[in-house]
Chains A and B, each alone.
Chain A
Amino acid sequence: MPVELTAPASAASKSALRLPGDPDIWFLIFAELMTFGMFFVAYVGYRALEVDLFNESQLSLDRTLGVINTLFLLTSSWAVVTAIESARKNQLKAVPRYLALAIALGVGFMVIKYFEYSAKFAAGISLTTNTFFNFYFALTMIHLVHVIGGTIVLIVLWSNARGGKYHAGNTRGLETGASFWHMVDLLWIFLFPLLYLLR
């Protein structure tokens, strides 16, 4: 594949407006955001009908695990941002390293979710327990599917980065995957307070 001999994207973006990654990913991101936005509003709407039930059910969630998962996703997003920054500076060895950190944190999120679900199932709580848990399981499971998909994308990027594919002249694929991963982070930024904290 020919290498583009253009100025680094970071130098160009100081003045020019620029959408990161493939424009197509932004249509997907917008569709996902609209869908989840409706889920979020539906959640507070159903909560308004049964405030006491939602407040009581929420107490059985482990807030500490929720916070840890929030820190995992925020830091994972930061690692991906830093990987892109490294590619733009042609620090090619740093790119796969930061992506590996991002992947590890994504897997950490899944492991914690596994423990959370196991504890709920062991306590006899499931998707059909009540309206709160309908939402809790449905929303976190749909989100988890996105975490898994996003982590697979990061693994592909990591593999490419190890081959030296991403550098100042080529960050497009990296930015496309990164934008999706930040969306997964953005969705959790709302899911966590809605499900675990809002009373």
Chain B
Amino acid sequence: MPAILLNPHRTWLILIIATAATFWVRADGLVGITAGAATLAIAAIKGRLVILDFMELRHAPNPWRSVISGWLMLVTVLLMVVYAFGPSLLAGVDKP
């Protein structure tokens, strides 16, 4: 296999394609909350690749691998929930 297709060079290529995909989603791809959710999902996938292949946690012992991967999962879920349901849940709250 050519060197460019091996980790972590392949990871870099996927990250660049994912960045282009985010741009497409935002520019003229999807609209509304679907676009927002897709944007966050792409960020999470990119984050996972950086954690596993660039930070090399794919071959790291626990708890480190779980702790850093867990941070990514927690942040992604919280962002998605607050993004999707925040505006309706906080409708009555005074603005800052």
User: Which residues of chain A have a CB within 8 Å of any CB of chain B?
Assistant: 13, 17-20, 26, 29-30, 33-34, 37, 40-41, 44-51, 63, 67, 70-71, 74-75, 77-78, 80-82, 85, 131, 175, 179, 182-183, 185-186, 189-190, 193-194, 197-199
Asked if A185 and B96 sit within 8 Å, CB to CB, the answer is: no
Contact pick for B39, options A20, A186, A198, CB 8 Å: A198
- Chain B contact residues: helix, strand, loop or mixed: helix
> Looking at the complex, which one of B22, B68, B71 makes contact with A193 (CB distance below 8 Å)?
B22
Q: Which residue of B lies closest to A64 (CB)?
A: B23
Beyond A71-B19, A74-B19, 7 additional contacts (C-beta under 8 Å) are: A18-B60, A19-B57, A44-B86, A50-B95, A78-B11, A194-B79, A197-B25
**CB-based nearest A residue for B35:** A199
Docked complex Cα distance between A183 and B56 (Å) = 12
Question: Nearest chain-A residue to B53 (Cβ)?
Answer: A81
* Shortest Cβ distance from residue A83 to the other chain B in the assembled complex, whole angstroms: 12
Give the number of residues in B that approach A within 8 Å (Cβ atoms).
46
When distances are taken between beta carbons in the complex, the residues of chain A under 8 Å from B74 are: 37
Q: Which residues of B contact A50 (CB under 8 A)?
A: 95-96
Contacts of B59 in A (CB 8 A): 13, 17-18
Contacts A20-B60, A185-B50, A185-B54 known; A78 to B26 CB distance under 8 Å?
A: no
Q: Are A51 and B87 in contact, with the CB atoms below 8 A? A: yes
CB of A78 within 8 A of CB of B55, answer: no
**B residues in contact with A182, CB < 8 Å:** 50, 54-55
User: Could you tell me if B67 and A30 are in contact, using CB atoms closer than 8 angstroms?
Assistant: yes
Residues of A within 8 A of B36 (CB): 198-199
Per the 8 Å Cβ criterion, residues 38-56 of B in contact with A are 39-40, 42-43, 46-47, 50-51, 53-56
In the docked arrangement, what's the CA distance between A87 and B66, Å? 28
B5 contacts A by Cβ under 8 Å: no
Contact status of A193 and B50, CB under 8 A, knowing A17-B59, A46-B96? no
User: Could you tell me if A30 and B43 are in contact, using CB atoms closer than 8 angstroms?
Assistant: no
Inter-chain contact A197/B61, CB cutoff 8 Å? no
A-B contact pairs, 26 of them (CB 8 A): A13-B59, A19-B60, A33-B68, A33-B71, A37-B75, A37-B78, A40-B75, A44-B82, A48-B83, A48-B89, A50-B96, A51-B87, A67-B19, A78-B8, A78-B9, A80-B54, A81-B8, A81-B54, A82-B8, A85-B8, A179-B55, A182-B54, A186-B51, A189-B47, A189-B50, A193-B42
